[in-house]
Amino acid sequence: MSLLERSFHLAHYIFPEGGSCLEFGVFRGGTFAYQADQINKHYPKSRLIGFDSWQGLPEETPGIWIPERHAKGEYAAPKDEVLRKLAEANLSIDDPRLRLVDGFYSDSLTPDVRSSIDSLIFVNIDVDIYSSTIELLDFIEPLLRPGVILYWDDWKDPRDSHDKPWGEHAAWDDWRAKHPGIEVATVGTNEYLQQVMVVTAAHGATLAAPLPSLAEIEKRAAELERNPPELRKRKAGESALTSVKIWVNSIPVIGPAIRRAYRALG
* Choice from 5, 13, 37, 58 touching ligand SAM (CB under 6 A): 58
Helices (H), the chain: 3-14, 30-41, 79-88, 105-108, 111-115, 130-140, 167-177, 214-226, 240-249, 254-264
Cβ of residue 1: shortest distance to ligand SAM, in angstroms?
14
Number of residues that bind ligand SAM (CB under 6 A): 20
Among 13, 37, 56, 185, binds ligand SAM (CB under 6 A): 56
Applying CB under 6 A, does 19 fall inside the site for ligand SAM?
Answer: no
For residue 242, CA distances in Å to 37, 60, 152, 247, 264 come to 20, 36, 27, 9, 21
Residue whose Cβ sits closest to ligand SAM:
25
Query: Which of 25, 147, 188, 229: binder of ligand SAM (CB under 6 A)?
Result: 25
Choose one: 111-119, 125-133, 138-146, 204-212; the region binding ligand SAM (CB under 6 A): 125-133
Residues 130, 27: Cα–Cα separation, whole Å? 17
- Cα–Cα distance between 246 and 89 in angstroms, integer? 17
**Distance of CA 1 to CAs 7, 41, 92, 104, Å?**
10, 16, 24, 30
Q: Which amino acid is at 75?
A: Y
Q: Which of 37, 38, 50, 31 is nearest to 12 (CA)?
A: 38
Residue 108 or 243: which CB sits closer to ligand SAM?
108
Query: To the nearest whole angstrom, how small is the minimum distance from the Cβ of residue 44 to ligand SAM?
Result: 23
Q: Does residue number 132 form part of the binding site for ligand SAM (CB under 6 A)?
A: yes
* 187 close to 198: Cβ distance less than 8 angstroms: yes
In the range 89-118, which residues lie near ligand SAM by CB under 6 A? 104-105
C-alpha 31: how far from chain center: 8
Binding of ligand SAM by 166 (CB under 6 A): no
Smallest gap from residue 109 Cβ to ligand SAM (A): 8
Using CB under 6 A, list all residues that contact ligand SAM.
Answer: 25-28, 30-31, 52-53, 56-58, 75, 77, 104-105, 126-128, 132, 135
